[in-house]
Amino acid sequence: MTRIEPSDRPTARHVLGVFTRLGLTSFGGPVAHLGYFRDEFVKRKNWLSDRDYADLVALCQFLPGPSSSQVGMAIGLHRAGGLGMLAAWIGFTLPSAILLVLFAVGLTAVGDTAGAGWLLGLKAAAVAVVAHAVWGMAKSLTPDAKRATIALVTLLIVILFPGVLSQVIAILVAGIVGWLWLGDSEKRDDIVSDIKVGIPRAVAVICLGLFFLLLVGLPLLASLTSQPIIGQIDTYYRAGALVFGGGHVVLPLLEAETVQTGLVTHDQFLAGYGAAQAVPGPLFTFAAYLGYVSVGGGVAGAVVALLAIFLPSVLLIVGIIPFWEGLRHRSRVRRVLSGVNAGVVGILAAALYTPVFTSGITGPETFGVMAVALVALAVWKQPAWLVVLGSALLGLVFL
């Protein structure tokens, strides 16, 4: 692994620039985002080794909230400290949040985008990005028969029994099998950490305590004060703190908390959900749209909703990574991680089939765009953001 000396480490401004570009071009949902991140930070910039990156992905699979955003925050924290973490979040999140708020402002003027050619091209590009990422991670994380078998079993569990619970169970099974079945065959040089965050453990403990305090205290405070803003913070904080799997999994909870309570109409919710499919970045920015269109919302409501839904992820990343760094190099933990990393490959492969492939490939035309994008990534070695933009252009012209 090539280490980056402190004098060569990127600044928060550099991190902001990189993540802003990703925030403008990362279409396709959390699985595709992980593909974009791997292409950018492992293959192109060498900020992380494949194993370090896979360990971060494995950790975030266990945490509630938006997994791809959490991985991005952790990378920003690793490269440029607390300001880097903030820069990574701002760069990756604000583009889609701003676009969704602008859509809320001009909701009546926006037509149906479901069949737009450029959007079909973006979905096809997401298939190529995920396929490329799965293949690259499989070569690194499942190099032998045992780990390939773990990945295959995980894929089958997730495909045959869809749902967030099956993903959590599959990851747990992969970790247990790794602990019991895999040996300590890794070379020490391969597992030396290059993930340094410099967070004191006292700060980590405070963040974890604050996470649980807000989770319990906000509902009580909202019921006692009857203040709309406290209720809004409680709604979105719980969404970010209790939803495993991220992405589309958060939608039922948000629908129950906004539509069924009368804050947002059903038509407003569906219109915003459709727009969220057409913008890059994390789907959790849908909260900004809901905050804006909610009764008494506006720009202030959008800001409150956006900050509240991502706050649990910030507290968890800062609170857990310092302890995670010490644990992940112990022999037994390494065996568990080897199994979990193989399981992550299986989960990503399952997601490649559904929903990425099944929603992105609608016919021979979109399959052709996907093929061109995959060749551009794997053979022509073009950056993912350029492939995404090119696919959108192909879709606009031919689809």
Residue 379 is given by DSSP the state T
* Position 139 confidence tier, pLDDT thresholds 50, 70, 90: confident
Mind listing the pLDDT tens digit for each residue in 107-134? 645 555 556 787 788 778 878 877 887 8
Contacts of 163 (CB under 8 A, 6+ apart): none
Q: Which pLDDT band, with edges at 50, 70 and 90, does 304 fall under?
A: very high
Residue 1: pLDDT band (50, 70, 90) is: very low
The yes-or-no verdict on residue 199 having pLDDT over 90 is no
> In this predicted model, what pLDDT tens digit does every residue of 242-262 receive, in sequence order?
776 566 556 667 877 888 788
The pLDDT assigned to 237 comes to 93
The crossing angle, in degrees rounded to 10, of helices 145-160 and 331-351 is 50
Structure tokens at 63: 């945490």
Q: In whole angstroms, what is the distance from residue 110 CA to residue 299 CA?
A: 19
DSSP assignments along 337-357, one per residue: HHHHHHHHHHHHHHHIIIIII
**pLDDT recorded at residue 184:** 64
193 versus 86: which is more confidently predicted?
A: 86
Express as a percent the part of the chain with pLDDT over 90: 33
pLDDT digits (tens, 9 = 90+) for 308-355: 999 999 999 999 888 876 776 677 877 887 888 788 788 878 878 876
pTM: 0.73
Q: Are 65 and 246 in contact (CB under 8 A)?
A: yes
Name which of 160, 183, 186 is nearest 346 in CA terms: 160
Q: What integer is the mean pLDDT of 82-108?
A: 90
Report which DSSP code applies to 4: P
- What is the per-residue pLDDT across 19-61, written as a single tens digit (0 to 9) for each? 999 999 888 777 788 888 998 999 888 888 888 898 888 888 7
| Distance, CA of 3 to CA of 194 (rounded, Å) | 7
Q: Select from 225, 231, 255 the least CA-distant residue to 308.
A: 231
Instruction: Please give the DSSP secondary-structure letter assigned to residue 278.
Output: T
State residue 189's pLDDT score: 40
Give me the pLDDT at residue 107, please: 67
Backbone angles phi, psi at 137, to 5 degrees: -70, -35
For residue 307, pLDDT beyond 90 = yes
Sort residue 85 into left (φ over 0), alpha (ψ -120 to 50) or beta: alpha
Residue 9 clears pLDDT 70, i.e. is over it: no
> What pLDDT does 162 receive?
79
Up-side HSE of residue 205: CA atoms within 13 Å toward CB?
A: 3
Q: How far apart are CA 66 and CA 72, in angstroms?
A: 10
Provide, rounded to the nearest whole percent, the portion of the chain with pLDDT above 70: 86
pLDDT of residue 6: 43
Alpha-carbon distance of 225 to 232, in angstroms, equals 12
